[in-house]
């Protein structure tokens, strides 16, 4: 193992918290900084799934009909703000190009190597934090309305099983109705993915991981990070560390800094001079108290929303909204999908709170950015985990800690390094 250093991790979502834990396990002195409590942003509001089945990253739609539907805002799965498009045009165009079948297949090879460690890396942290009460290990379902989409879904599931060992069971409409009595509509059928896990309260799981870090002597600081910079040697400060982080309340120094601020990372790395093809896909959720609960989470594969039984009731989560991160919420997809969900499982009134909104931190090549910053010694990036950041957090934390420690890594890191986009 390499030298023990002092490290500041910026952001206590699932990625930053797991990074801090893995660094701590390797003997580093770690400070974890977040403006709020751990796991209360994107890592709280997601669809609660540890997606061991998700070996293929989400491709940008390529058929003319799908693009036209998106452009005209006809479906419930995608929504966009016109004023965000100019700043999104470049990464979205690259994303579109990377979604061509041959490129997407090559990306899937790399992505699947990360997903392979999803449940096993969570498992050790779930055990260490005695969090079994939050975990359901029975998979989840894609449900289909039409026979044509169901047949396509079945063919895809067979392909993923053949190529990547993704286990699944196919359910006819009748079998689905028997398995999920809460369903009120006749469906064509379902794919039951057998390997994913569901977390009843994802933010709480992150909080427990953070508590483990704190109980092992780690320092968690609740302050807003304003900027970071490299220290230059100052007279009388010969022992000053390599990096300084300024917050709204004070200053912190360490030899190394990890940026793990999920969708907020872009702004910070831009200020450090890095032009990375990052963008966000916003999403919403709303909770509903449900007399007839669902047995398993389900994705309505044709309408693009997810229904998840959670500690808070049924959580309905939406698809992608292309918008500026700070633009006012426009929960149109939630309004559309709530009607669909009402017909599907008879939802009760939503809880009387504004909908939650968050942002998936996405990259144009659909792969996370994990590794050393090309132009700054002691600066590390761990963000861009997109649609599966909750799934990938523990493996991303371990990979980062192994790289910082100079250990052999359990996953070959080259495809995910920031340097793939140049210096
Ligand atoms: C609707 C929706 C559904 C999803 N469903 C799933 C799913 O089922 N499974 C899955 O694997 N993934 C899912 N995702 C994606 C997943 O939630 C994210 O990829 C993941 O949570 C990102 O984790 P993170 O730690 O990188 O970011 P975050 O959880 O957002 O953490 C970043 C942290 O940085 C902090 N921060 C930001 N700026 C500052 C600052 N200036 N100073 C101090 N702290 C700061 C924030 O407070 C935050 O705690 C979903 C996302 C959405 C939006």
**Is residue 317 within 6 Å of ligand 1 at its C-beta?**
yes
For the CA of 389, the nearest atom of ligand 1: 19
Q: What pLDDT is attached to residue 234? A: 54
Q: How far is the CA of 46 from the centre of ligand 1 (A)?
A: 8
Q: Does residue 340 surpass a pLDDT of 90?
A: yes
Does some domain include residue 396?
Answer: yes
Protein residue with its CA nearest to atom 26 in ligand 1: 262
Q: What is the mean pLDDT of the chain?
A: 94
Whether ligand 1 lies within 6 angstroms of the CB of 207 is answered as no
Query: 192 pLDDT band (50/70/90 cuts)?
Result: very high
- In the predicted model, what is the mean pLDDT of residues 321-328? 95
The answer, yes or no, to whether any atom of ligand 1 lies below 6 A from the CB of 203, is: no
Average pLDDT rounded to a whole number, residues 301-325: 95
Q: What's the average model confidence in pLDDT over 110-138? A: 98
Confidence of residue 237 (pLDDT cuts 50, 70, 90): low
Question: Is 20 inside a domain boundary?
Answer: yes
Rounded Cα gap, residues 146 and 281, in angstroms = 27
Q: Is the pLDDT of residue 348 over 90?
A: no
Q: Ligand 1 mean position to 359 CA, how many Å?
A: 7
Establish if 336 belongs to a structural domain: no
Render pLDDT for 65-94 as a digit per residue (tens, 0 to 9): 777 777 777 788 889 998 998 989 999 999
* Per-residue confidence (pLDDT) for residue 77, from 0 to 100: 86
How much is the pTM? 0.96
**35, pLDDT greater than 80:** yes
Count: domains in the chain: 1
Cα 395 from chain centre: 12
Average pLDDT over residues 200-206: 98
pLDDT score of 205 more than 80: yes
Q: Which residues contact 14 (CB under 8 A, 6 or more apart)?
A: 39, 43, 202, 206, 209, 389, 390, 393, 394
CATH number of the domain to which 409 belongs: 3.50.50.60
Q: Interior CA angle at 40 toward 313 and 329, to 5°?
A: 80
How is residue 26 written in tokens?
A: 């390797």
Question: CB of 206 closer than 6 A to ligand 1?
Answer: no
Strand ranges (E), 35-115: 49-50, 78-80
**Cβ count within 10 A of residue 179:** 15
DSSP, residue by residue, 288-354? E--SS--SS-EEETTTTEEEEEETTEEEEE--EEE--TTSPP-THHHHHHHHHHHHHH---PBPSSP
Residue 52 CB–ligand 1 contact under 6 Å: no
Residues ≥6 apart with Cβ < 8 Å to 177: 183, 186, 187
Closest-CA residue, ligand 1 atom 31, reads 13
CA distance 195 to 51: 8
Q: What does the pLDDT read at residue 177?
A: 98
Q: How many CB atoms lie within 10 A of CB 89?
A: 11
| 310 CB near ligand 1 (under 6 Å) | no
* CA–CA dist 125, 134 (Å, integer): 12
Distance CA 396, CA 368 (A): 9
Mean pLDDT of 363-385: 97
Mean pLDDT for 326-332 is 95
User: Does residue 408 lie within any of the structural domains?
Assistant: yes
Instruction: Check pocket membership of 388 for ligand 1, CB cut-off 6 A.
Output: yes
Position in ligand 1 atom list of the atom nearest CA 118 = 11
Confidence bin at 229 (pLDDT 50/70/90): very high
d(CA 244, CA 252): 6
Does residue 218 lie within any of the structural domains? yes
Domain that holds residue 392: 1-58+101-133+198-275+364-423
Q: Is residue 387 part of a domain?
A: yes
Nearest CA, atom 41, ligand 1: 225
**pLDDT for the residue 239:** 55
pLDDT classification of 109: cutoffs 50, 70, 90 = very high
CA-to-CA dists, residue 194 to 64, 166, 213, angstroms: 33, 8, 31
- Is the pLDDT at 206 greater than 70? The verdict is yes
- CB of residue 262 inside a 6 A radius of ligand 1: yes
How high is the pLDDT of residue 69?
A: 77
Binding site membership of 48 for ligand 1 (Cβ less than 6 Å) = yes
Q: Is the pLDDT of residue 1 over 60?
A: no
Torsion on CA atoms 393, 398, 401, 407, rounded to nearest 10: -160
| Residue 270 placed within a domain | yes
Ligand 1 close to Cβ of residue 406 (< 6 A): no
Is residue 321 situated within a structural domain? no
pLDDT > 90? residue 14: yes
Task: Using the mean position of ligand 1's atoms as its centre, give its distance from the Cα of residue 216 in Å.
Answer: 24
Q: Is the pLDDT of residue 259 over 80?
A: yes
Decide which of 225 and 68 is more confident. 225
- DSSP for 217-231, written as a single string: T-EEEE--EEEEEEP
pLDDT digits (tens, 9 = 90+) for 42-61: 999 999 999 999 999 999 88
Q: Is 391 in the pocket of ligand 1 (CB under 6 A)?
A: yes
- pLDDT for 291 equals 67
Which residue do the tokens 């500026």 mark?
A: 324
């Amino acid at each position: 193992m390499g030298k023990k250093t002092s490290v500041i991790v910026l952001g206590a979502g699932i990625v930053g918290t797991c990074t801090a834990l893995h660094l701590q396990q390797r003997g580093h002195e770690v400070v974890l900084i977040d403006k709020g409590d751990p796991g209360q942003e994107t890592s709280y509001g997601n669809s609660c799934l540890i997606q061991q089945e998700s070996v293929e990253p989400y491709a940008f739609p390529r058929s003319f009909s799908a693009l036209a539907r998106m452009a005209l805002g006809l479906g419930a799965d995608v929504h966009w703000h016109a004023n965000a498009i100019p700043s999104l045009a470049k990464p979205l165009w690259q994303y579109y190009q990377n979604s061509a079948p041959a490129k997407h297949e090559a990306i899937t090879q790399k992505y699947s190597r990360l997903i392979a460690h999803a449940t096993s890396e969570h498992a050790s942290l779930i055990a260490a934090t005695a969090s079994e009460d939050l975990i359901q290990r029975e998979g989840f379902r894609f449900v289909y309305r039409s026979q044509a989409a169901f047949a396509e879904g079945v063919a895809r599931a067979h392909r993923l099983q053949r190529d990547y060992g993704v286990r699944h069971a196919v359910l006819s409409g009748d079998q689905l109705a028997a398995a999920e009595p809460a369903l009120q509509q006749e469906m064509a059928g379902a794919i039951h993915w057998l390997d994913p896990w569901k977390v009843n309260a994802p933010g709480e799981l992150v909080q427990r991981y953070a508590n483990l870090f704190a109980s092992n002597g780690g320092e968690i600081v609740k302050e807003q990070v304003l900027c970071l910079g490299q220290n230059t040697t100052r007279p009388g400060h010969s022992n000053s560390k390599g990096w300084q982080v300024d917050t709204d309340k004070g200053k912190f120094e360490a030899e190394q800094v990890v940026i793990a601020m999920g969708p907020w990372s872009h702004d910070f790395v831009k200020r450090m001079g890095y032009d990375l093809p990052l963008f966000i896909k916003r999403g919403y959720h709303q909770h509903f108290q449900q007399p007839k609960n669902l047995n398993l989470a389900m994705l309505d594969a044709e309408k693009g929303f997810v229904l998840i039984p959670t500690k808070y009731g049924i959580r309905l989560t939406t698809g992608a909204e292309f918008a500026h991160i700070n633009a006012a919420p426009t929960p149109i997809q939630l309004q559309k999908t709530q009607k669909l969900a009402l017909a599907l499982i008879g939802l009760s009134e939503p809880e009387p709170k504004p909908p939650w909104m968050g942002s998936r931190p996405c990259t144009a090549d659909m792969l996370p950015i994990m590794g050393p910053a090309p132009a700054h010694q002691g600066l590390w990036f761990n963000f861009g985990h997109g649609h599966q950041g909750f799934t990938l957090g523990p493996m991303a934390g371990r990979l980062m800690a192994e790289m910082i420690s100079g250990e052999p890594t359990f996953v070959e890191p080259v495809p995910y390094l920031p340097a793939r986009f140049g210096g």
